Amino acid sequence: MSVDTQTVKKIAFLSHLKIDDDKIDTVGAEFNKIISWVEQLNEANTDNVEPLVSVNDTKLTLRKDEVVEGNQADKILKNAPAAEYDYFVVPKVVE
Amino acid sequence: MSDITKLTISQTLEGLKNKQFSATELTKAYLQDMEAKRNLNAYVLETPEQALAQAKVADTNYANGTPRTLEGIPLGIKDIFCTKDVRTTACSHILDGFVPQYESTVTSKLFNDGAICLGKLNMDEFAMGGSNENSFYGPVVNPWHEERNLVPGGSSGGSAAAVAANICAAATGTDTGGSIRQPAAFCGVTGIKPTYGRCSRYGIMAFASSLDQAGPIAKDVKDCAILLQSMSGYDPKDSTSVNKEVPNFTSFIGQSVKGLKIGIPAEYRPQGLNQEIADYWDKGIEILKQAGAEIVNISLPNTKYALAAYYIIAPAEASSNLARYDGARYGLRIDGKNLDEMYTNSRTSGFGAEVKRRIMIGTYVLSAGYYDAYYLKAQKVRRLIQNDFVEAFKKCDIILTPTSPLAAFPIGDKTMRESPINMWLNDVFTVSVNLAGLPGMSLPIGLSKDGLPFGLQLIGRSFDEETIFKTAAIIEQEAKFERLK
Amino acid sequence: MLLEGKTGKWEIICGLEIHCQIISKSKIFSSASTHYGSDTNQNVSFVDAGMPGMLPTLNEECVKQAVKTGLGLRAQINKYSEFSRKNYFYADLPQGYQITQFVHPIVGEGVVTIDLDDGTTKDIRIERLHIEQDAAKSIHDMSPTKSFIDLNRCGIGLMEIVTKPDFRSPEEAGAFLKKLRSIVRYLGTCDGNMNEGSMRCDASISIRPLGEKELRPRAEIKNVNSVKFAMQAIEFEAKRQLELYENGGTMEQETCRFDAATGTTKFMRKKEFANDYRYFPEPDLPPLVLTDEYIENIRKELPELPDAKKTRFVENMGLTKYDATIICENKEVADFFEKAAAGHDGKKVANWLMGDFFAMLNRKNLTIENSPVSAENLGKLVGLIENNTISGKVAKDVFEIMSETGENPEKIVEEKGLKQVTDSSAIEAIVDQVIAANPDNVTAFRNGKTNLKGWFVGQVLKESKGKANPQIVNELLDKKL
C-alpha cells in the first residue's frame, strides 16, 4: 500500500505536527518505506486468532468511590506556561 | 576515581554496615566521580543536595542500627521516572523545565527503602531509540573505549553507561522493546525487564503502555535481584500491575540448575548472525550444560513477525500517549494565533525526529480504514507470538539467546543513519519478550575481539524471574566477565 | 407526526444520544471530587490534568450506577466490556484522548416505554449505554485572545445512552427525554438537570417521503440542553430538510447546533471534516468483567420504577392512567402522593394533589420538597371530607389556611368551628326559615319551576355559613317543598 502526499498531510494534521512543504516528499518516501516494511505482517496467518488486548489476562480492579485528591490548584498549575486566576490560559479556541 | 564506587550493592551494604565508610563519604565519592565523568553525558541532572541529605538520613539510620534494605545506596534514575520537585523531561525538549509534583511508585519504593538519588540519567527521547542518540540533551558516550565514541545503546543509555562507569551503584531503567537489556549488553552490565505487571508504571512517562516495564540496571545479577525486590509489587494506582506475591529474588542466587531445561530457539540463529555472538551464545549453552542443565531445541516460529508487530503497536500507543504534550499545561509552549496553532507549533518544535516519526506511524495505523490492516493485525500477531512462548515453555523452563545482533557501534554511524529501519533491526532479539509480557535479562558474557561487551539474554516464564536469577548467577560465575574499573 | 409537504407526506426519523453525568463522590478515573461549583481547578487530580505518567483507575460506583441504569432501561448487561481511547486534540481534553467504551459497552440493547399525550404508549429501543469521562469546561468569552481552562468537570463519569432511530415526532423525543430523566432520577444514577448540563442531548434527524425504505443523510444536532429545545430543534430541522428537498436540494451528513435564542439549528460542519478519532483499546485498563452475582445483587436493590409504580397506582389506588402518569413522572411527587393517600381514597387525593396543591406550589413558586402542606396533612384534609366532617367547599378554605400556616387541618377545623352541621333539627329550622321568607319562589317551584331547588339549597347553605351537610339539606327540602 502506497501512502500519498495527501495522506501524509492528513496524518501530520491529525498528529498536530507541521511538515514543511519542501520536506513533505522526503517524509512521504520514508513513511512509505516503513509502511511497506511492516506489511510483512500480511504473511502471517491470523485466521481465527483473537487480538491480544491484555497480556496477563488481568481483569480490571475497581477503586472505592472516595475523594482522596483535590484542593491542589497550586500543584496542578505549578508548571503551567500561562495561568491567571487559577485557570490555565491558552490562545483562544476557534471553532 | 574512588575505589568504593566500584563495589556492588551487596558489597556496599556490607561496607556501610561494618562502618568501613559512611553513606555521606560514599555519596561524596560518587558525586566526585560523576563530575570527573561528565564527558560521558550520562546524567542530564545531578542532584547533589538531595543526595547528601538522603545520605545523612542513611548515616543516622546506620548509627541507630535501623538501616533499611537499600540504606545509603546511591542510584541514578532514568529521566523518564517522575521525581517530585526534581526536573523530569524524558530527555525531550517538549518537557522543558517540567518539575513533577508527584513521585513515581518505583522511585518512591526505592527511596523508602533507603536508596539515594544522585541525579537523572540521559535516555532516548521518550525512550524511543536504541542508541541514546535521540536525546534532546545529546548522545551518551559508552564508557568502554571512550576514545572510540561508541553509543551505550538505548533507550536507557545513560543508565547503562553510568553503571558501567561506576558513577552510580545501580540505575533504574525502562524497557519497551529492549531498552534495559540492549544498553546493558552494550555497556557490559546486567539488567532485567521483569514480567509486565510486576512493577507499577505509575509516574513513569508512558511510551507504549502495554509494553513498558521498569527494571534495574546493575553491576551484577545479585544487585539486580536486590533492586527488583524493592521496585516490585502491586500498585492500586496502576490497573495493569498484578497483585501477586513478590518472591525473595536473592534467595535463588546460588541455587543449582541441575535438570533445568534450557530452551534454545532456532529462529534466533538466523543466517549471517555475527560469528562472535554465535560463539558466545554457545559458550553460555556450554556453561549451563556443565552445570547440569538440559539443553532443549525449541522453535518460536512467529519471531520473524515480532519487529513489524512491535513497530505498529508501540507507535500506535505512543501516538496517543504523547498527545498530552501540547504546550497547554506544562513544558514547552510555542505560541500561535489560536489554540490549534499553539499545539502544532509546540509539538513541532518540542519533539525530535524519531518521536515525530513514530507519532505519525502510530496515527496512521490507527486511522480510519487502516486500523484492521495494521493495528488489529499486529494485535493478532502479538497473540501468535505469545502462544509461541506458551508452547515453548511446555518443553523448557527458561530460554537463552543473544541480547543483540551486534555490539556497540559508533555515535553517528552511517548505516544506522541511513534508515530508521536499520536501527530498529537491532531490537530483533528483544521485542518478542515485551510483546509476550515475559521477564528478560541481559548479562555480559565476554568481549569481542576489538574489546566490546556482548550480552546474553535469559527469558523466563511469566512471573518467574526466580529461574532467571538462578540461571544468570551460574552463567555470571563461570563467564568471569570483568567489569570496567 | 407527518410533515405535509407540497410533494406529499414526509416522515421524520430521529434518534437520540444522551449524556448523563453519573452521581458519584469521585470522578470515574480519578479520586478527585465531582462537586459542582468548587473553586477553579480545585477538584483536579494529576490524572485529570493529564500529567505525564499518570494512570486511570476505575471508580466502582460508576460501574454500579451504569449497571443500575442499564437494568432500569430493561437492557442487556454485558459481563465483558472494554475501555477505548477516542483520540482528538481539544482544550477541554488534557490527555489528548477521551477514555470511553467503543466496541464492547457495559450495557447493550434495552427498551423504554414512553407515554404520549393521547394516552397511548410506545416502546423506544435502546441501542447501548456506555461509560466515559466528561470533558473540562473552558471559558472562551472572557478575553478576545485567550481561553481559560478549568479542569474541575474533567473526568466526571458520564453514561452515554444511545437510542435506535425510533422517534417519528418531536413529541416522542420529548416524551422519551422526560421518561429517561424520570428513570435516572428514580434510580439515583443522574440528577437529570438538563439546564445545569448534567443531562445533555444530541439528536440525529433525517426525513423521507412516507413509504420510502432507505434512510436519507442525517443532521446531528449537538448539546441541546432542555426537553423543550430538543423538541424545537427536531421540528425546525425536519422542516428545514423538507424545504430543502422540495426545492430540489440534497442533504449531506452534517453536524449542527441549536440556537435557543432563534429556535433554529445552525450548521457546524460536513461529515468529511469530522475528526478521525482513531479508537483503540485503552492499554492502561484491562477489560472489565462482571459476575452474574454482582448484577443480580444490583437488580435486587432496584427501586420501583415509574412504569411499575404507575400500574400499581392504577390497579390498586384507583387512579386513571392519565393521573398516574403525571404523578409518577417525578419520584418525589409519587412518594408524596403515596404518603398522602395512605388510608384514603386515592382518586380524591390525586385530585387535590393535581388541583389545589400543585396550583399552590406554582403560585408560591415552591417545589414539593419544601411544600408548607405535608403529605400527612393533605391526607387528613381528604379524610375530613370523606367522613363528612367538612364539605368540599369548606375544605378549600381549610387548605388555604394550611398553605399559609402548615397546620394540621383537624386542628384548623376544630379551632375555627368549621365542622359540618349534620344535626337535622338544626338544619330543619333553617330550611323552615328559608321557606317562610320566600313564599313567591315556593309557589313558583310548586307550579313546576323545579330548577329553583338549587336556589333553595344555596340559600340554606348560605344561612348555615356553609356548614350544613348538603345531602341533609336536599332531603329536607324535598320533604318540605
CA of A58: which chain C residue's CA is closest?
A: C286
Output the pLDDT for position C135. 96
A46 at interface of B, judged by CB pairs closer than 8 A? yes
Quick check: B249 and B473 in contact, CB under 8 A?
no
The residue segments making up the domain with residue B248 are 4-253
The residue segments making up the domain with residue A29 are 5-43
Domain count, chain B: 1
B155 in catalytic set? yes
Phi, psi of C281 (to 5 degrees): -60, 135
pLDDT band for C273, please (50, 70, 90 cuts). Answer: low
The rounded distance, in Å, linking the Cα atoms of B417 and B408 is 15
Output the pLDDT for position B483. 95
Q: Give Cβ neighbours of residue C284 (< 8 Å, ≥ 6 apart).
A: B206, B209, B238, B239, B240, C55, C56
- Active-site residue, from B28, B78, B219, B470: B78
Q: Which of B202, B239, B312 to mutate to test the interface with C (most CBs of C within 10 A)?
A: B239
- Active-site residue, from B104, B155, B232, B346: B155
**B433 is a domain residue:** no
CA distance A22 to chain B (A): 16
Give 3-state DSSP helix, strand, coil % of chain B, rounded to 5: 45, 15, 40
* 3-class state of residue C163 by DSSP: strand
DSSP 8-state class, residue B58: H
Quick check: C228 and C30 in contact, CB under 8 A?
no
CA distance C254 to chain B (A): 18
The residue segments making up the domain with residue C343 are 304-416
Q: Give Cβ neighbours of residue C250 (< 8 Å, ≥ 6 apart).
A: C244
Q: Would you call C91 and B328 a contact, using CB atoms and an 8 Å cutoff?
A: yes
pLDDT in tens, C78-96: 999 999 999 999 999 999 9
**B485 is a domain residue:** no
Residues of B in contact with C271 (CB under 8 A): none
The rounded distance, in Å, linking the Cα atoms of C253 and C220 is 8
Domain count, chain C: 3
Q: Give Cβ neighbours of residue B10 (< 8 Å, ≥ 6 apart).
A: B222, B223, B226
CA distance C81 to chain A (A): 10
Residues of B in contact with A43 (CB under 8 A): 305
CA distance C114 to chain A (A): 33
The rounded distance, in Å, linking the Cα atoms of C140 and B231 is 45
CATH code for the domain of B165: 3.90.1300.10
* pLDDT exceeds 70 at position C416: yes
Residues of A in contact with C30 (CB under 8 A): 69
Residues of C in contact with A17 (CB under 8 A): none
Residues of C in contact with B90 (CB under 8 A): 52
Find the mean pLDDT for residues C28-34: 98
The rounded distance, in Å, linking the Cα atoms of C56 and C282 is 10
Of A10, A67, A88, the CB nearest to C31: A67
Q: Give Cβ neighbours of residue C454 (< 8 Å, ≥ 6 apart).
A: none
The rounded distance, in Å, linking the Cα atoms of B392 and A29 is 39
Quick check: C408 and C366 in contact, CB under 8 A?
no
The rounded distance, in Å, linking the Cα atoms of A14 and A8 is 10
Quick check: B179 and B134 in contact, CB under 8 A?
no
Q: Would you call A51 and B376 a contact, using CB atoms and an 8 Å cutoff?
A: yes
CATH code for the domain of C464: 1.10.10.410
B232 in catalytic set? no
Q: Would you call B104 and C53 a contact, using CB atoms and an 8 Å cutoff?
A: yes
Q: Would you call B240 and C286 a contact, using CB atoms and an 8 Å cutoff?
A: yes
Q: Nearest-CA neighbor of C450 among C477, C471, C468? A: C477
Preceding amide of B155 cis, omega within 30: yes
**A90 is a domain residue:** no
Helix (H) or strand (E) holding C200: strand C199-209
**Alpha-carbon dihedral sign for residues C362, C364, C367, C370:** negative
CA distance B320 to chain C (A): 7
* Contact residues, A window 49-88, toward B, CB-based 8 Å cutoff: 49-56, 58, 60-61, 63, 72, 75-76, 78-82, 88
Residues of B in contact with A52 (CB under 8 A): 379-380, 382-383, 386
Residues of A in contact with B308 (CB under 8 A): 37-41
Helix (H) or strand (E) holding B116: strand B116-121
**A70 is a domain residue:** no
| Residue B254, CA atoms < 13 Å, CB-side half-sphere | 4
Q: Which of B199, B237, B242, B324 to mutate to test the interface with C (most CBs of C within 10 A)?
A: B324
Quick check: C160 and C15 in contact, CB under 8 A?
no
DSSP 8-state class, residue B62: H
Assigned C-alpha cell, C454: 338549587
The rounded distance, in Å, linking the Cα atoms of C134 and C146 is 23
Q: Which of B95, B326, B359 to mutate to test the interface with C (most CBs of C within 10 A)?
A: B326
DSSP 8-state class, residue C354: I
Q: Nearest-CA neighbor of B121 among B238, B24, B216, B13? A: B216
- Based on the fold, state whether residues C318 and C291 are members of the same structural domain: no
The rounded distance, in Å, linking the Cα atoms of C380 and C340 is 8
Domain count, chain A: 1
**B210 is a domain residue:** yes
pLDDT band for A1, please (50, 70, 90 cuts). Answer: low
Of A38, A82, A94, the CB nearest to B312: A38
pTM for this entry: 0.93
- Based on the fold, state whether residues C366 and C438 are members of the same structural domain: no
Q: Would you call B82 and C284 a contact, using CB atoms and an 8 Å cutoff?
A: no
* 3-class state of residue C27 by DSSP: coil
Find the mean pLDDT for residues C284-308: 97
> B367-379 in b/e burial notation, b at 16+ Cβ within 10 A?
beebbeebbbbbb
Q: Would you call B329 and C49 a contact, using CB atoms and an 8 Å cutoff?
A: yes
pLDDT in tens, A12-48: 999 999 999 999 999 999 999 999 999 999 999 999 9
* pLDDT exceeds 70 at position C188: yes
Quick check: C14 and C142 in contact, CB under 8 A?
no
Of A63, A86, A92, the CB nearest to C39: A86
Q: Would you call A69 and C138 a contact, using CB atoms and an 8 Å cutoff?
A: no
Assigned C-alpha cell, C480: 318540605
Helix (H) or strand (E) holding C391: none
Q: Would you call A11 and B363 a contact, using CB atoms and an 8 Å cutoff?
A: yes
Of B239, B320, B368, the CB nearest to C57: B239
Which residues are registered as beta bridge partners of B446? B454
Q: Would you call A72 and C42 a contact, using CB atoms and an 8 Å cutoff?
A: yes
Q: Nearest-CA neighbor of C152 among C255, C30, C61? A: C30
Assigned C-alpha cell, C298: 444490583
Output the pLDDT for position C280. 97
Q: Give Cβ neighbours of residue C135 (< 8 Å, ≥ 6 apart).
A: C90, C92, C93, C98, C153, C154
The rounded distance, in Å, linking the Cα atoms of C444 and C451 is 10
Q: Would you call C53 and B236 a contact, using CB atoms and an 8 Å cutoff?
A: no
Helix (H) or strand (E) holding C58: strand C58-59
> Which pLDDT tens digits describe chain B residue by residue (485 residues)?
779 999 999 999 999 999 999 999 999 999 999 999 999 999 999 999 999 999 999 999 999 999 999 999 999 999 999 999 999 999 999 999 999 999 999 999 999 999 999 999 999 999 999 999 999 999 999 999 999 999 999 999 999 999 999 999 999 999 999 999 999 999 999 999 999 999 999 999 999 999 999 999 999 999 999 999 999 999 999 999 999 999 999 999 999 999 999 999 999 999 889 999 999 999 999 999 999 999 999 999 999 999 999 999 999 999 999 999 999 999 999 999 999 999 999 999 999 999 999 999 999 999 999 999 999 999 999 999 999 999 999 999 999 999 999 999 999 999 999 999 999 999 999 999 999 999 999 999 999 999 999 999 999 999 999 999 999 999 999 999 999 98
